[in-house]
Amino acid sequence: MTLPHLLPLLAFLLHLAGILAAMHALMNTRTPQGAFAWALGLSLLPYVTLVPYLYLGRSHFQGYVTLHRAHRKRLLQASERGEHASIPESCVRYSEMAQMVHGTFHSGQQLKLLVDGEAAFEAMFQAIARAERCILVQFFIFHDDTLGQRMQHALLERAAAGVRVFVLFDGIGSHALPRSYAQTLQQGGVTIYPFATRRRPNRFQLNFRNHRKILVIDGCVGFLGGLNVGDEYLGLKPPLAPWRDTHMQLAGPAVMDLQRSFAVDWHWVTGELPPMLPPAPAQGDALTLIAATGPADPQETCSLFFTVAINAARKRLWLTTPYFVPDQAVLSALRLAVMRGVDVRVLLPSRPDHFTVFLASTLHAHDALGAGIRIYRYQPGFMHQKVILIDDDTACISSMNLDNRSFRLNFEIGALNVDHAFAADVERMLLEDFGNSLEITREEYRRSSYVRRLAMHVARLFDPVL
């Protein structure tokens, strides 16, 4: 066959493949909006949508879902704290959240706010240096740069001292990490694996990433938040520097839940369980709920996590997020909070790290302003922290972004803390952040050129995969 005769056949086969993929999207995409967008694009424009769907739209991880749920259930049943304890009175307004994530509000927590990368990594490296039995490490991104090499050396030093070290990193988030980085750790006695929801490598699967950031030392001290292992998180890489991010440290019974989250991910990757060490005795005053969310959950737990948190606010709700692409449930909850007199503020970056997401976020911010939500843009550098402050007693530090990727496609983790002292620390931190920000008005959108406004509306069409 000559090329002119082959072209119609190729076009027919491409459209047939597009129709088959559209049927798959209708059956497997989790939201009606996403299903409609994929089905329409695959049916009418398979030339431009088929390849992106192979990377972003496939959902072949049913085996993971089944094993994930079964193993998490076994861990909960085996744990002494697997049974639901009674909800303390100060936490009753979050009872649906605890039920949804099969979690418990642990009392007696000792909490420390780590306001930036320098404070967070200094605390983490000090804790690693004191490890005697076991270190659990999980980050979305590892870079082989100055900070990454410092982390590598710290883990190798403890492994050489006889400490058991277990490391998970996300295969896509850490796509730039050279193999030599993991090989060096392995040769030094560190057990390290990339996370993927399919045990066989699948270069076509970009969704269902493990976005969690967890560090646990000897079962007693835990860390979580928004930071990854890379120089940019210390503000050392322009043009986004200085990088604004937040982590937290906790000690007490809730550290067992961090270990449990790590163990579920580790078991899927390796078929084995890491050590589950008893946490430190309760010596603090805070109540903490660890919420591990992900696309394998029966409910859309991350979106519901935000909805419950927003609905609980009575006086104040301050949110910080690098990506403001709320779904309808979260946006409606924010609107209702404004209507009942809550001071609702959202802190966003003024610089983009992902331009399409930034455009969509700008349009959503414009719509939020119309609902009475106050929007601020952080000026000194890129703002990446994921923090929620509710009234005068509750603060959440997490890896969760306000976008569909965190809501439905990523594995995330957060700590919801009910404690006046910790909330006061978060309030002081955010007041300084707001002092370094500009409150925007609807003029931001109106002053934009027509082409830029059009780009915002086009970007919003991609909300289901942002």
Domain-wise residue ranges, the chain: 3-56, 62-91+112-284, 301-465
> What pLDDT is stored for residue 72 in this prediction?
60
Q: Is the pTM of this model over 0.85?
A: yes
76 vs 465: which has the higher pLDDT: 465
> What pLDDT is stored for residue 280 in this prediction?
86
Task: Give per-residue pLDDT as tens, 287-326.
Answer: 999 999 998 888 889 999 999 999 999 999 999 999 999 9
Average pLDDT over residues 21-31: 73
88 vs 148: which has the higher pLDDT: 148
* Portion of the chain with pLDDT greater than 70, in percent: 86
Domain 301-465 in the same topology as domain 62-91+112-284: yes
Q: Which one of 152-156, 172-176, 272-276 scores highest in mean pLDDT?
A: 152-156
- Catalytic site residues? 211, 213, 218, 384, 386, 391
Burial degree of 5 (CB within 10 A; 0-12, 13-18, 19+) = exposed
Average pLDDT over residues 165-172: 95
190 vs 50: which has the higher pLDDT: 190
Average pLDDT over residues 169-185: 95
Contact partners, residue 21, CB within 8 Å, separation at least 6: 38, 42, 46, 50, 53, 57
CATH fold of 301-465 reads Endonuclease; Chain A (3.30.870)
* Under 8 Å between Cβ of 79 and 260: yes
> What pLDDT is stored for residue 22 in this prediction?
75
* Under 8 Å between Cβ of 131 and 217: yes
Task: Give per-residue pLDDT as tens, 344-398.
Answer: 999 999 999 999 999 999 999 999 999 999 999 999 999 999 999 999 999 999 9
Question: How far apart (Å, rounded) are the C-alpha atoms in residues 416 and 390?
Answer: 10
> What pLDDT is stored for residue 300 in this prediction?
87
Tokens 């995409």 belong to which residue? 29
Identify the CATH homologous superfamily for domain 62-91+112-284.
Endonuclease Chain A (3.30.870.10)
CA dihedral 137, 200, 66, 224 (to 10 degrees): 20
Handedness of CA 259, 264, 268, 274 (dihedral sign): positive
Q: How many angstroms from the chain centroid is the CA of residue 3?
A: 48
